[in-house]
Amino acid sequence: MIAIDNLSTGKRANVAHLEDTNRFTLVEHDIIMPIKIVEDVAAIYNLACPASPPKYQIDPIHTLRTSIDGSQNMLELARQKSARILQASTSEVYGDPETTPQPESYKGAVNTCGPRACYDEGKRAAETLFYEYRKRHHVDARIARIFNTYGPRMDPQDGRVVSNFVVQALFGVDLTIYGNGQQTRSFCYVDDLIDGLMRLMASTDGVSGPVNLGNPREFSVLMLADMVLEKTRSSSKLRFLDALQDDPRQRRPDITLARTILGWQPSTALTDGLDRMIAHFAQELCCQSKVAVS
């Protein structure tokens, strides 16, 4: 197994347990630049690109290039190696949706000139590249549209709502809510998502996608905040800030296609996934505090 990562949002510690084996190699490389792989490659998961608005807005042009130039470089690699390739697309291709739940047939309502456009439009363009490489070059290319995913080993400073709330609650500071908190999200535990990605990659039924992968249960941001406060037994309060530009009002996947063709649906309840994530974050933040003190 070969992992390619520029470590802009990740860290070696997340794969340290794999590097001790002779079956795993980490290559530090930015996929906006072409790369040569001498080994045989059977399958490529293109998961590259920051997914957190605070992270991808640091360098929006690089974010856009990761989705476009990076995807083309990985598609060329798949073409050279006759490998199957899967694109990690996103529910953000639907923009601020005018219908719910969002099926794969929904074309979306995306702002092409806003603070989120570098990510949203980059992922939409990447889907087009995958479609064209499949059509023109007969690359076995698949597309998964991923809805909000959470779990252990997320960066505590990731900037997305679940990690924000957990870290703020553990530190006893106010939970920041943008807007009135009535906007909804669907939260898929990372293990369930990985299962869906692997099923889509392994499918032999001519499935190419896009295929929605996410939890169809819908929660408001306020509901999530209440759950985190209860589970952490935190005394934190809620602090309401101005709504963010182009922040979607609703997120809920229609996973009929994934259920039908992949036999997939998430099995981890939000309450259980939060327990695991909170335990991991509590341990990691405790270790970081000890290092800082010493």
Chain centroid offset of residue 163 CA: 13
Is the pLDDT score of 20 beyond 90?
no
Is the pLDDT score of 209 beyond 90?
no
Is the pLDDT score of 292 beyond 60?
no
The mean pLDDT value for 156-166 works out to 94
The mean pLDDT value for 216-233 works out to 97
Question: Can you give the pLDDT at residue 115?
Answer: 95
Is the pLDDT score of 264 beyond 70?
yes
Question: Can you give the pLDDT at residue 11?
Answer: 85
Catalytic annotation present for 119 = yes
Instruction: Mention the CATH class of domain 31-293.
Output: alpha beta
pLDDT tens readout for residues 26-39: 999 999 999 999 99
pLDDT band for 289, please (50, 70, 90 cuts). low
Least confident of 19-23, 76-80, 102-106, 254-258: 19-23
Question: Can you give the pLDDT at residue 26?
Answer: 93
Domain range summary for the chain, segments of one domain joined by +: 31-293
The mean pLDDT value for 215-223 works out to 97
pLDDT band for 207, please (50, 70, 90 cuts). confident
pLDDT band for 190, please (50, 70, 90 cuts). very high
pLDDT tens readout for residues 126-152: 999 999 999 999 999 999 999 999 999
Is the pLDDT score of 1 beyond 70?
yes
Helix axes 221-232, 270-293, angle to 10 degrees: 60
Write down the catalytic residue from 45, 119, 133, 189. Answer: 119
